[in-house]
Chain A
Amino acid sequence: MTVTGGRALVVDDSAVNRLILVRLLETLGLTVVQAENGVQALEILAAEPGEVDVVLLDVLMPELDGYETLAAMKAEDATRHIPVLIVSGVEELDSVVRCIELGATDYLPKPINASILAARINASLAAKRLHDVEVALNRTIQRQKEELSRFLSPQIAALVSSPDGEQLLAGHRREITVAFCDLRGFTAFAERADPEELMTLLSQYHRMMGEAITEHGGTLEHFAGDGVMVFFNDPIHQEDHVERAVRMAVAMREEFADLAAGWRQRGYELGFGVGIAVGYATLGRIGFDGRHDYGAIGNVTILASRLSSKATAGQILLSPRAQTMLAEVVESEPVGELMLKGLTQPVLASNVVGMR
């Protein structure tokens, strides 16, 4: 008899039977609540959600009998998992079978034998504890997922918890479009502005950027002050990844014009520049034990970043390949050959005028 602790609900209309059961259960170390019929039992279960570990249920009762009580318990998420022991005379095996079909855990023959009671209670409490552990675990996983989706891009949070997440995180190669965005005049502004003003402005800017990224299905790789890197076609496949990147940049440029007008009135002159490139990259978990990011590594990210730093206020600079791929949908103008830091050959870049 190893029962230690736990809370039992005894449901029986006979005062004598209740008294015997309560006494035996208390001897086993359980605390006991009592009900005279199914209606009272369901009221107790509703009033103490999660408190009752096992129910001992008589079949024949007024108001609401054992079958109806059992069915009502099994219909509710909050009570479905609580083990139910049917207390029944041996000559009523038919009703026991029906109760087990309705979801009862086991039955206790009357008159009650203390050793059988202890064995059944032990088994039921063990099952209930296992269930409780599982529920707590699921709750933790759910909470982690929610937290994760707050810190990471929604796509990456979903990837981490998906079945093929491990494989994708381990690293894969794919063609992506990378858009690098940052602000002209930000460093000078950061020197002059109050920290509060700086944070207000950055949060307006980030909110606008975040909305545009989400709307176009981009994967945010990182925010770094005024710099934002977004890529497309990973982890979710997007046929039109180049076009999506350009549409996003154009939408951002338009939104930015409104923000910049407000800031200008407060004496801050800020401009918005973007660099966009297409190419293959290795994507996956990048970092060291204790701190990893989901990142993209390849010439394409370097090219986008360098184009972004060459862009003047209001420019969206495309790599030659991006420009060629989108010639039919994007109107652009060549800006000449640019010498980019770290690249040996000059790059013929074009600025996006608008969508056709």
Chain B
Amino acid sequence: MMAATGGDLGFVRELVETYLADTPVQLEAMAAAVEADDAAALVRPAHTVKSSSASLGAMRLSMRARELEAAGRSGELGPADRAGLEAARSEWVAAADAINAWLDRASAR
């Protein structure tokens, strides 16, 4: 991403800050959908997390979101999907920690 955008640190900072702000909102929507057993409502937020996480290199979170999107599309949610949501949340915490650590390093430079 740094290469594609010409190594502009200001832009990458804006991008990850947008990601850090937006992803919890999407995860909330995913949790609400799983809670309500509403498969259709799970698709869009899971899709968004899948694609934005892939763009920023958070591949494990992207994979989890992708599985949940597929589950949403299948029309039926099961216990495995509740576990999948928990796994996605853990991946999110790990991804956010890594990004924040990177931001601190970049700011210190």
Q: List residues of chain A with CB under 8 Å of any chain B CB.
A: 13-17, 19-20, 23-24, 27, 60-62, 89, 91, 110-114
Contact = CB atoms under 8 A, between A and B. Distances in A.
A27 B6 contact: yes
Interface stretch (B15-23, B79-87, B100-108): B15-23
Contacts of A27: 5-6
A61 B1 CA distance: 24
B80 to A, nearest CB: 20
B51 A110 contact: yes
Closest 6 A-B residue pairs measured CB to CB? Answer: A16-B52, A14-B48, A114-B4, A111-B55, A16-B19, A60-B47
B22 A110 contact: no
A136 to B, nearest CB: 36
A13 B26 CA distance: 11
A13 B48 contact: yes
29 contacts: A13-B48, A14-B22, A14-B48, A14-B52, A15-B18, A15-B21, A16-B15, A16-B18, A17-B51, A17-B55, A19-B15, A19-B18, A20-B15, A23-B5, A27-B5, A60-B48, A61-B44, A62-B44, A89-B50, A89-B51, A89-B54, A110-B51, A110-B54, A110-B55, A111-B51, A111-B54, A112-B4, A113-B4, A114-B4
B4 A24 contact: yes
Contacts, number: 53
A90 B54 CA distance: 12
Given A15-B21, A17-B48, A23-B5, 5 more contacts: A23-B15, A24-B4, A60-B48, A89-B51, A113-B4
A122 B6 CA distance: 20
A20 B16 CA distance: 10
A17 B52 contact: yes
Contacts of A112: 4, 55
Contacts of A15: 18, 21-22
Nearest to A65: B44
Contacts of A24: 4-5
B44 A16 contact: no
Interface string B8-43: 000100110011011000000000000000000001
Nearest to B70: A91
A91 B69 CA distance: 12
Nearest to A89: B51
Nearest to B23: A16
Contacts of A19: 14-15, 18
B5 A16 contact: no
Contacts of A91: 66
Nearest to B53: A16
A273 to B, nearest CB: 84
Contacts of B19: 16
A23 B6 CA distance: 10
B96 interface: no
Nearest to A24: B4
Most buried by A among B6, B48, B51, B55: B51
A16 B14 contact: no
Interface in B44-87: 44, 47-48, 50-52, 54-56, 66
A89 B65 CA distance: 13
A264 to B, nearest CB: 85
Contacts of A20: 1, 15, 55
Nearest to A88: B51
A20 B12 CA distance: 9
Contacts of A61: 44
Contacts of B1: 20
B105 to A, nearest CB: 21
A39 to B, nearest CB: 15
A89 B19 CA distance: 18
A161 to B, nearest CB: 52
Nearest to B12: A23
A94 B70 CA distance: 14
Contacts of B52: 14, 16-17
Contact of A60 (B21, B43, B56, B66): B43
